[in-house]
């Protein structure tokens, strides 16, 4: 689709003119100090200490150095060139809404606690809200993605065991192939409809777990000295919450553990 948009854009003049934005020479875009060489990635100016960003200019596809305040403009010009301006504005709108929501939650927590909340606490509160809303709306794949982000935040905060339980939950959800249609592709209703439609028995497909999450789990095991027996117990006990939900996943925590172990063992090469 993007390629087709690009071809259409070639047949007409851009909606807005492309400009000679940025510095093509090895010069700081803030203070105009000459640099020793042309950076290949983000770096701080040795003189004014501002962050210098490296991009490709849409006008002539030359490498340029820009300020942080120019990043959006470069992205906008690429959107104009490729015929993706509508998607660009949608992205900006989504970002602004997210920033507004962050500030609103920050003010709410400040009033609630009587002090300035930390950025991590604000983000955590938003994640919790997202989990409640997406679960209520049946947007389970988004719920799973949010849970992964929460695990990553806990890992950065060195709350390793808490992060581990969330990673194990994400794996269980992935194994049961949770969807944004409000059900598991492994639930009884889906399987019955599948077998009636296709005239054959449904076979659960191993989704193939992302290697990154298994790597996270193994690192936490090493840090916290968690053996396989304890890991199995954590996996089964934590994921039993789904047995008491309306979802009724057909792959039990015990069976999901067996599926998980196959991918866990495959990942030994990354140890």
Beta-carbon contacts of 192 under 8 Å, excluding residues fewer than 6 positions away, are: none
Edge-to-edge order in the sheet of strand 51-56: 43-44, 51-56, 63-66
Ranges under pLDDT 70 in the chain: 1-15, 177-191, 193-195, 197-198, 200-208, 244-248, 267-271
Residue 253 CB neighbours (<10 A): 22
pLDDT digits (tens, 9 = 90+) for 190-220: 567 666 766 766 565 555 677 889 999 999 9
Residue 226 CB neighbours (<10 A): 18
Where are the chain's structural domains? Answer: 2-83, 138-270
HSE, side-chain direction, 13 A CA sphere, residue 150:
25
pTM: 0.69
The residue length of the chain stands at 271
């Amino acid at each position: 689709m993007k390629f087709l948009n690009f071809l259409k854009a070639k047949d007409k003049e851009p909606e807005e003119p492309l400009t000679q934005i940025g510095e093509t020479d090895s010069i700081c875009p803030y203070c105009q100090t000459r640099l020793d060489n042309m950076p290949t990635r983000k770096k701080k100016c040795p003189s004014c200490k501002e962050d210098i960003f490296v991009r490709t200019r849409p006008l002539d596809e030359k490498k340029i150095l820009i300020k942080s305040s120019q990043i959006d403009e470069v992205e906008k010009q690429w959107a104009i060139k490729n015929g993706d301006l509508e998607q660009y504005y949608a992205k900006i709108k989504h970002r602004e809404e997210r920033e507004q929501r962050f500030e609103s939650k920050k003010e709410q927590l400040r009033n609630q606690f009587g002090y300035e909340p930390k950025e991590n606490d604000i983000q955590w509160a938003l994640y919790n809200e997202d989990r409640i809303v997406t679960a209520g709306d049946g947007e389970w794949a988004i719920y799973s993605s949010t849970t992964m982000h929460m695990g990553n935040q806990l890992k950065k905060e060195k709350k390793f065991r808490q992060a581990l339980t969330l990673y194990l939950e994400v794996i269980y959800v992935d194994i049961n192939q949770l969807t944004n249609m409000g059900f598991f592709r492994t639930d009884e209703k889906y399987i019955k409809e599948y077998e009636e439609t296709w005239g054959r028995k449904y076979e659960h497909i191993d989704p193939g777990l992302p290697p990154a999450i298994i790597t996270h789990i193994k690192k936490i095991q090493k840090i916290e000295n968690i053996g396989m027996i304890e890991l199995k117990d954590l996996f089964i006990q934590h994921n039993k919450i789904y047995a008491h939900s309306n979802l009724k996943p057909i792959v039990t925590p015990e069976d999901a553990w067996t599926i998980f172990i196959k991918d866990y063992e495959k990942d030994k090469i990354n140890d």
